[in-house]
Chains A and B, each alone.
Chain A
Amino acid sequence: MEQFPAYPDSRSISEVKASTPRANAKWLKRTAMVLIDGDTFDEEGLKRAGLKSDDPITELYIEDRAIIIAPITTLTEESLKDSGLDPKTIVKCKNMFTLGMACYIYNRPMEYVFKYLEKKFSKKHPELIEPNKKVLKDGFNYAANIQAIPNTYTVEPANQKKGLYRNITGNQATAWGLLAASEKSGLPLFCGSYPITPATNILEELAIHKSLGAKTVQAEDEIAGVCTAIGAAFAGNLAVTTTSGPGLSLKSEALGLAVMTELPLVVIDVQRAGPSTGIPTKTEQTDLNQALYGRNGECPMVVMAAHSPAGCFDAAFNAAKIALEHMTPVLLLTEGFLGNGSEPWLIPSMKDYPKIVPPFALPNTEYKPYERDPETYVRKWAVPGMAGCEHRVGGLEKNHAGVLSSDPQNHALMVHERAMKVEKVADSIPALEVFGAESGKLLVVGWGGTYGHLLSAVQQAREDGLDVSLAHFDYILPLPKNTSEVFSRYERILVCELNSGHFVNYLRGRLPEFKFSQYNKVQGQPFLVQEIEEAIRKNLQ
């Protein structure tokens, strides 16, 4: 496990004015978010700023920062056109529009700014109070309308390893991990998806990289997204669909079909605050129950999670590897917080990644579609175009030969075998690691995108002399094989997650021999290091 401090950083926001970009650009943190007044990037503005091209983002080497280009001057003028203020004064209110945007992005209440404006202008210029409030609110609403999402994850490792680095967001890393899996399996990548915040930019990113053979289908709806992917899987591609919470709900029936047909499929769910439309731009871990249980019938699939923006690369690669080698749908949970967050990443080399070898059938041999490997329970994959292996798959229950069957014993057997196939994936995943002590009083347990905050809190608590360690899960179904053994070495277990207790209740069902405490937060916000530290202290009292 890598170790690094992680803090949500709201100090890294910058506004670049056309007159000062050259001077300011070099001071931008790698994880900074840049709000640009697009109106100032006209020919005259660019010239005045000493820029040579009409693409200042590339020219200033800031294309890897989170950038929002907004027509701030125009929108401010429009906002205040009936305010009675003169044009010069109106343009001066741009800063309040931008501050309004920042209030939305960083979830800060505008009331503080209102009070400040009242205090500042009440004596000399009371006529400026209302216009400034209005433009502030308009900036806030504009950011909400464009679904501006903070670049939340600021990580500057203390002791960086030597090598070549780049910045990468979670969604970008997810897309690239899938492309890497396509290369390592030799199968073309197919992504069938429908736009949905905050998952959309995985589809956008894949659409760029057609040179690596990626085919993207922007489907007519979420259901078509997953169904085109299932069709592509049947036809022998590395098939992927990407979505966020409500989209996953729409895909449920089709995911049952993928389980029943035992086709390799990668499903990426970039979780957001729910239920229903919820708060699309805010982060949560509230889809775990849906991922584990949200389908009709006995319908297990592999469920895993990514723990950092750059970690999405390996997570997506591993999800594809498991799907292809174990002939099962795999649901990878990431989070808005990860997808839109970015961090510096030591660029890996593809030679260090394993080959992906799907269990293809041999042409012109006797083929039974649901005959399984006795160890792994994995079936063989015959792809249309393969001579002599013609067969039918579908949502109806079948026997090993692929013939329809409603025989009670056969159904029980197939239910058992599909479940065993998923459980046997545990033989191919890494063991659970612990940060801290081998054994002790308290084990903090987390999964997914809370990793940075949990690690920082546990580190801090240990420095303060507390007997606490961390076990963070990337694999949820199945759990790593040593999970029970790890848990047995600690007196207490505290499960922290951004939902009402999905993972802790799952653990209670699977490992009833342990007693679990829980710390939960459902505010559409990530954990704060401080609140985890407090929870640790309380638990140790």
Chain B
Amino acid sequence: MPRYTFKEFKSDQEVRWCPGCGDHGVLAALQRALPDVTEILGYSKERYVVVSGIGCSSRLPYYMNTYGFHSIHGRATAISTGIKVANPDLTVWQACGDGDALAIGGNHFIHAIRRNVDINIILFNNQIYGLTKGQYSPTSKFGAITKTSPYGTVEPPFNPGSLVLGAKGTFFARSLDSELKLNEEIMLAAAKHNGCSVMEMLTNCVIFNDGAHKLIADKEVRADRTIILRQGEKMIFGKNRNKGLMLDGMGLRVVTIGENGITEDDILVHDAHSENVGIHMMLADMKYPDFPVALGVIRDVEAVTYDDGVRDQVELVKSKSKIQCVDDLLRSGSTWEVK
């Protein structure tokens, strides 16, 4: 099979996102990741289906030269579930926003995670409704001033990570729109993961929520206010690579290596494959300024997928049942002859 490049995954459609929108970076990462996925997993290009709901980020399928389905607001996860169950040989990627997936589509989102449908969900989180021009979303910060909350919101936001893990998610990763390399890495891990993979991308909306994540994302502060978690590596971060995370009683604590007798040996090692969700939940919940915000693959555990379950059950019943065609069915059970 020829090695694909990102060009083969780019459609001929003009990308209509605003200049400077964070979505551009995520799209670029996906177009760069899929050639790797295709090569490593031995896929063919026609098996990809990219599904979306409604919102700025949901335009993404038009920009991918694959099969695509731009559906209706909130329902992408249900459409993806149907596609994957109908034909488990397809590889389903989904683009959806914070309003799309967590407000109107919240029900489908948690149930796809609970069922562990083998789909890859990219959750674009810009903490605002962009396409409708600037209303607050379920991830907007408490007190956010938007067009529908001129005096500030009076409702706390969802943390997508804890929502995913609370619904027994088997894969959760988080990143920033501009982390091109890390995002390709995350997307490859999600593709390899057999089950429902949720990738939260913290994106900026230059028009309606500019600087949505700047407290952690600005280049000067990013290294000190985020931590990139990698499997089997110490949880170390900071411009000087001298800060780390330790267990402290029931919780986590930020420490400085070399101070108060702390050495690198005291720092936690990341294990995304651990069944125990407790530490993953704490990592996903970390917020600036008390903690660095966790990026990278936070959880990645094995579990039976829904689509495999459905397919296997059909095969099992087929192998055991006396009813092998509709004529068998019609003549099964009580019948009588009129002569």
User: Which A residues fall within an 8 A CB radius of B?
Assistant: 61, 63-64, 160-167, 176, 179-180, 183, 188, 190, 192, 209-215, 217, 219-221, 223-224, 227-237, 239, 253-254, 256-257, 261, 346-350, 384-396, 403-404
User: What residue in chain B is nearest A229 (Cβ atoms)?
Assistant: B82
A213 to B335, CA, bound (A): 24
Task: Tell me which residues across on chain B come within 8 A of A231, comparing CB atoms.
Answer: 51, 69, 78-84, 86
The digit string for B53-66, where 1 denotes a CB below 8 A from any CB of A, is 01000000110011
- Assess the B68–A392 pair: CB atoms within 8 A: yes
B96 to chain A, nearest CB (A): 13
Query: Which of chain B's residues 30-66 have a Cβ closer than 8 Å to chain A?
Result: 44-49, 51, 54, 61-62, 65-66
A-B CB proximity, top 9 nearest: A231-B82, A394-B70, A211-B321, A228-B82, A227-B78, A232-B86, A392-B68, A235-B86, A210-B317
B169 to chain A, nearest CB (A): 16
Q: Is B247 an interface residue (CB 8 A)?
A: no
User: What residue in chain A is nearest B16 (Cβ atoms)?
Assistant: A404
**Beyond A227-B75, A395-B54, 5 additional pairs, beta carbon < 8 A:** A61-B334, A164-B337, A221-B107, A227-B71, A390-B46
Task: Tell me which residues across on chain A come within 8 A of B11, comparing CB atoms.
Answer: 392
The digit string for B74-99, where 1 denotes a CB below 8 A from any CB of A, is 01001111111111011000000000
A161 to B310, CA, bound (A): 41
Task: Tell me which residues across on chain B come within 8 A of A232, comparing CB atoms.
Answer: 82-83, 85-86
- Assess the A162–B339 pair: CB atoms within 8 A: yes
- Assess the B86–A393 pair: CB atoms within 8 A: no
- Assess the A176–B329 pair: CB atoms within 8 A: yes
- Assess the B323–A211 pair: CB atoms within 8 A: yes
Q: Is B330 an interface residue (CB 8 A)?
A: yes
Task: Tell me which residues across on chain B come within 8 A of A236, comparing CB atoms.
Answer: 86-87
Q: Is B219 an interface residue (CB 8 A)?
A: no
In the complex, which of the residues A212, A223, A394 contacts B69, with contact meaning CB atoms closer than 8 Å?
A394
A63 to B332, CA, bound (A): 12
B326 to chain A, nearest CB (A): 5
Task: Tell me which residues across on chain B come within 8 A of A162, comparing CB atoms.
Answer: 338-339
Query: Could you show 22 A-B contacts with beta carbons less than 8 Å apart?
Result: A63-B333, A64-B333, A163-B338, A164-B336, A192-B82, A211-B317, A211-B321, A213-B318, A215-B85, A224-B75, A224-B111, A227-B79, A230-B79, A230-B82, A231-B79, A231-B81, A232-B83, A234-B69, A257-B72, A349-B327, A390-B68, A392-B68
- Assess the B107–A392 pair: CB atoms within 8 A: no
A217 to chain B, nearest CB (A): 6
B105 to chain A, nearest CB (A): 9
- Assess the B61–A392 pair: CB atoms within 8 A: yes
User: What residue in chain A is nearest B90 (Cβ atoms)?
Assistant: A384
Task: Tell me which residues across on chain B come within 8 A of A254, comparing CB atoms.
Answer: 72, 75
Task: Tell me which residues across on chain B come within 8 A of A161, comparing CB atoms.
Answer: 338
In the complex, which of the residues B13, B51, B67, B70 contacts A395, with contact meaning CB atoms closer than 8 Å?
B70
> Which among A231, A239, A254, A392 has the highest number of chain B CB atoms within 10 Å?
A231
User: What residue in chain B is nearest A403 (Cβ atoms)?
Assistant: B13
A494 to B72, CA, bound (A): 42
A305 to chain B, nearest CB (A): 23
User: What residue in chain A is nearest B87 (Cβ atoms)?
Assistant: A235
In the complex, which of the residues A165, A188, A192, A239 contacts B336, with contact meaning CB atoms closer than 8 Å?
A165
Q: Is B250 an interface residue (CB 8 A)?
A: no
Mostly, the A contact residues are mixed
- Assess the A234–B107 pair: CB atoms within 8 A: no
Task: Tell me which residues across on chain A come within 8 A of B181, comparing CB atoms.
Answer: none
User: What residue in chain A is nearest B75 (Cβ atoms)?
Assistant: A227
Task: Tell me which residues across on chain B come within 8 A of A192, comparing CB atoms.
Answer: 78, 82
- Assess the A166–B72 pair: CB atoms within 8 A: no
- Assess the A165–B335 pair: CB atoms within 8 A: yes
User: What residue in chain B is nearest A235 (Cβ atoms)?
Assistant: B86
B168 to chain A, nearest CB (A): 15
A391 to B68, CA, bound (A): 6
A381 to chain B, nearest CB (A): 12
- Assess the B334–A237 pair: CB atoms within 8 A: no
- Assess the A235–B90 pair: CB atoms within 8 A: yes
A237 to B48, CA, bound (A): 17
User: What residue in chain B is nearest A404 (Cβ atoms)?
Assistant: B62
A26 to B257, CA, bound (A): 87
- Assess the B67–A391 pair: CB atoms within 8 A: yes
A391 to B44, CA, bound (A): 15
Query: Which of chain B's residues 158-192 have a Cβ closer than 8 Å to chain A?
Result: none
In the complex, which of the residues A160, A210, A212 contacts B326, with contact meaning CB atoms closer than 8 Å?
A212
A391 to B12, CA, bound (A): 11
Task: Tell me which residues across on chain A come within 8 A of B240, comparing CB atoms.
Answer: none
User: What residue in chain B is nearest A217 (Cβ atoms)?
Assistant: B85
Q: Is B325 an interface residue (CB 8 A)?
A: yes
Task: Answer whether A350 and B325 are a contact pair too, CB < 8 Å, given A215-B85, A230-B79, A232-B82.
Answer: yes
A221 to B70, CA, bound (A): 21
A221 to B69, CA, bound (A): 21
Query: Which of chain B's residues 84-138 have a Cβ closer than 8 Å to chain A?
Result: 84-87, 89-90, 107-108, 111
Q: Is B314 an interface residue (CB 8 A)?
A: yes
Task: Answer whether A209 and B323 are a contact pair too, CB < 8 Å, given A230-B79, A257-B71, A385-B46.
Answer: yes
- Assess the A235–B326 pair: CB atoms within 8 A: no
Task: Answer whether A166 and B329 are a contact pair too, CB < 8 Å, given A220-B107, A235-B90.
Answer: no
B62 to chain A, nearest CB (A): 6
- Assess the B85–A210 pair: CB atoms within 8 A: no
Task: Tell me which residues across on chain A come within 8 A of B13, comparing CB atoms.
Answer: 403-404
- Assess the B72–A253 pair: CB atoms within 8 A: yes
Task: Tell me which residues across on chain B come within 8 A of A164, comparing CB atoms.
Answer: 331, 335-337
